[in-house]
Structure 1
Amino acid sequence: MNDFDFLTGSWTVSNRRLKTLLAGADDWETFPGSATCRPIFDGGGTTEEIVFPTLPSRGLSVRLFDVERQRWSIYWSSSRTGLLYPPVHGTFAGGRGDFYGDDTHDGKPIKAHFIWSEITPTSARWEQEFSADGGETWETNWIMEYVRV
């Protein structure tokens, strides 16, 4: 239930993101971020606000541990839309977290996958990848490298 305790606190975040999704593109952009993560429900959840000063926009992640299913749900919202996007669900095993869900891109159904890895007391890595073919192939489209402030 306390899998996301490592993320509590303040972070600088280096972002690398594809500009064009699910088109075989290689047009990456980089931009800075700063994040603050707070625990809720005695470790059974977190909130994380991330600021992207050069975009400008902000993001909010809400992570909740489903006690009955013994898995996490991660929700994302962007200040650009004000919407709460469909969650991804999953667990940690062997120092890695894998979270899967269904979403849409340009009106078409896709699969989403979030990966938490390379977790240390002072750093962590988050990746997002999408699949437009039901999970047969995946395209990594966003990588965040966290370094503790």
Structure 2
Amino acid sequence: MKKIILLVMALALLVLPVFRAEAQVALPGIKKADSLFFAQNWAGAQKQYKLVLADTTHNGLAWNRLGFCEYYLGNYDAAIIAYQKALMGKVAAPLKAIIYSRMAKVYALQGKIAISVNDLDSAAAYGYSNLAEMDTLKDFGSLRNSPGFKQIRQKVYFTLNPCMANAQARQFDFWVGEWNVYPTGTNTLAGHSLVQMVSGGCALLENWEATNGSSSGKSLNFIDGANGKWKQTWVGNYANGIQEFVNGQYADSAMRFTFTTADAQGHPLTGRFIFYNLGANKVRQFNETSADGGKTWVTAYDLTYIRIEKGKM
């Protein structure tokens, strides 16, 4: 609870310049009330805000802080009244998000689930995005099994992580996992690969280690903003170990890239790099090159990935 309170205090300090416009008239005694508020002297701050504020005062920030004092003191009905008064003035969207989220907490504590969900939805509409609070705060305990709460949480999650809601960005997820890797058609272990979803689902990070220590490397896989197609940038531990695979497209259960490279004599080669989705626990990675513009092809490597079961290697 202390960490949450400190987070709220920090947020209030960050957004204070936005909210100053709400206090159109400097109220006598408001600085004292605010100092008590930031000192977490809830009873003292409550008393001072009540002395400062009149029913006709449209100072959204001050009413919000009084509401928080009442909430913290367990005066839930008084907290709701203060929060409602906070919304009566010209309140900026960030402050509205805070007020509606706090009202949602109070209503949840009072068992008024439908009202709480409605206010939380309003908070999200104004920019509320505190997933950690939604997932852990005890105040929301009575809401978490509510379909409405789950929908709002998903909406907030996708707002913070838009790639998770992007169907194209999810096309390569079949490669995510921990794998034993074998030359296709053999039982000879060639290496291990850990493929992780990173950057809020906007990229995949490959971590490769050969069993015999001959090679290691990482690749970052993402949708290239320049052309809207998948791209892989690979960096290996060997000489000239940087390679880019481009124009990636997923079709017919396979992610297909193209690339250019050179042979040992420096002659240009065109290449095809394909990941075949063979079900939940199997991926085939196939790389081939052509020295004659695609008339003939030579296999560079052909590997099969078998998902490692938890607790096994």
TM-score normalised according to structure 2 size: 0.41
SS at match of 1:87: strand
Pairing 1:124–2:283 present: yes
CA distance in 2, matches of 1:44, 1:61: 14
Instruction: State the partner residue of 1:6.
Output: 174
Instruction: Show the counterpart of 1:76.
Output: 234
2:222 touches 2:230 (CA, 8 Å); kept in 1? yes
Aligned-pair distance for 1:102?
1.3
Letter in 2 for 1:8: V
Q: Distance in 2 between matches of 1:70 and 1:39?
A: 19
RMSD: 1.9
Give the CA deviation at 1:31. Answer: 5.0
Between 1:40-49 and 1:6-15, the stretch displaced more is 40-49
What is the rounded CA distance, in whole Å, between the counterparts of 2:303 and 2:248 in structure 1? 19
Q: Distance in 2 between matches of 1:57 and 1:138?
A: 24
Find the counterpart in structure 1 of residue 153 from structure 2.
none
**How far apart are 1:84 and its partner, in Å?**
1.8
Structure with greater proportional helix content:
2
The CA distance in 2 between the partners of 1:15 and 1:78, in whole Å, is 19
- Find out whether 1:53 has 2:211 as its counterpart: yes
CA deviation profile, 1:76-120 (whole Å, cap 9, x unmatched): 222122742233322001211111111111211100110111431
Equivalent positions of 1:68-107 (< 5 A) are 69-81=227-239, 83-106=241-264, 107=266
CA distance in 1, matches of 2:235, 2:302: 17
Alpha carbons 2:246, 2:259 under 8 Å: kept: yes
Q: For 1:55 and 1:61, how far apart are their aligned partners in 2?
A: 18
In the TM superposition, structure 1's runs of 4+ consecutive aligned residues that sit over 3 Å from their partners are none
Contact 1:66-1:72 within 8 A present in 2 as well: yes
- Residue 139 of structure 1: aligned partner: 298
Structure of higher RCO (CA pairs closer than 8 Å, 6+ residues apart):
1
Q: Max radius of gyration: which structure?
A: 2
Q: Give the deviation of 1:33 after TM superposition.
A: 0.7
> Could you tell me which residue of structure 1 aligns to residue 144 of structure 2?
none
Aligned length: 136
CA positional deviation for 1:68:
5.0
For structure 1, the residue ranges without an aligned partner over 5 or more in a row are 17-29
Give the secondary-structure state (helix, strand or coil) at the position aligned to 1:85. Answer: strand
Q: Which blocks of at least 5 consecutive residues in structure 2 are unaligned?
A: 1-168, 309-313
Query: Which range moved further: 112-121 or 81-90?
Result: 81-90
Percent identical pairs in the alignment equals 26
2-side partners of 1:71 and 1:47: how far apart?
17
